[in-house]
Amino acid sequence: MPRRARVYLPGVPLHLIQRGNNRQACFFADEDYLVYLEWLKDYAVKTGCKVHGYTLMTNHVHLLLSSSHTDGAGALMKALGQLYVQYVNRTYRRSGTLWEGRFRSCLIQAETYLLTCQRYIELNPVRAGMVAHPAEYRWSSYAANAQGHEDRLLIPHLLYQRLGADNASRQAAYRELFRHALQPGLVDEIRQATNGNFALGDARFGEEISLMLGRRVVRGQAGRPSRVIAPASGELF
């Protein structure tokens, strides 16, 4: 069965994940994480992308970003992925592929899911049993978003900025979101949407994205497929 094409829309947030080949490690030392993050910052600027959140795990990467144009995320991941593979092969005297192949991604309905998805990304080390709290993990955006640590890579999304009138109040409100773990059903929903390259949002969001792109962007249901109905409002989100 052919893989589903990834879906992009300018300005619509995107959660993406790229895994090491056969789920093998892609980061081996602190320097590797630092190199990847520096190049991620550089190429995000070059490709018109804004990174809102991230977590670098030992064998995969989570990013939350938005792009000013349709091919921004693809161009970013292609350039970054190729450069980082060359770095790893040269540094560790290896050859061959490093990444699993195509990265997986999903468009996000910002008002409903953006901060939830950001929490999902930054809680990944906790779910993996590596740390008890996201603040204990060095290679994620939690320290910047929740504790105010400087991170020149990040450009906060408007919804994050609306959490408070100043940085201290935003960070306090953001920390409050982590008082409780994400519900398992919500974790599964994010995983399924990302792994399947589907849209993550409510039914209307899925219908509107499908209408704009001219193809289905939500998981299929058993039985006869439903017809995409044009939204009554001119507003997309």
CATH label of the domain that carries residue 30:
3.30.70.1290
Alpha-carbon distance 20 to 101, whole Å?
A: 8
How does pLDDT run across 51-61, given as a tens digit for each residue? 999 999 999 99
How does pLDDT run across 70-83, given as a tens digit for each residue? 889 999 999 999 99
What pLDDT is stored for residue 214 in this prediction? 67
Contact 55, 139 (CB under 8 A): yes
Helix and strand element counts for the chain (H, E): 9, 4
Residue 3 in any domain: the answer is no
- Residue 120: HSE in the Cβ half-sphere, 13 Å Cα cutoff: 24
**45 burial level (CB within 10 Å; 0-12, 13-18, 19+):** middle
* Confidence band for 199, pLDDT divided at 50, 70 and 90: confident
Residue 224 in any domain: the answer is no
Residue 233 in any domain: the answer is no
Q: Could you tell me which residues come within 8 angstroms of residue 29 by beta carbon, excluding any fewer than 6 positions away? A: none
Q: Give the total number of structural domains in the chain.
A: 1
Look-up of token digits 């997309």: 236
Alpha-carbon distance 170 to 163, whole Å?
A: 5
What pLDDT is stored for residue 228 in this prediction? 33
Residue 80 in any domain: the answer is yes
Residue 131 in any domain: the answer is yes
Amino acid identity of residue 195, one-letter, is N
Question: Which residues constitute the domain of residue 85?
Answer: 14-213
What pLDDT is stored for residue 70 in this prediction? 87
Least confident range of 72-86, 92-106, 135-149: 92-106
Residue 236 in any domain: the answer is no
* Confidence band for 229, pLDDT divided at 50, 70 and 90: very low
Average pLDDT over the chain reads: 88
Residue 172 in any domain: the answer is yes
Residue 105 in any domain: the answer is yes
* Confidence band for 122, pLDDT divided at 50, 70 and 90: very high
What pLDDT is stored for residue 220 in this prediction? 59
What pLDDT is stored for residue 8 in this prediction? 73
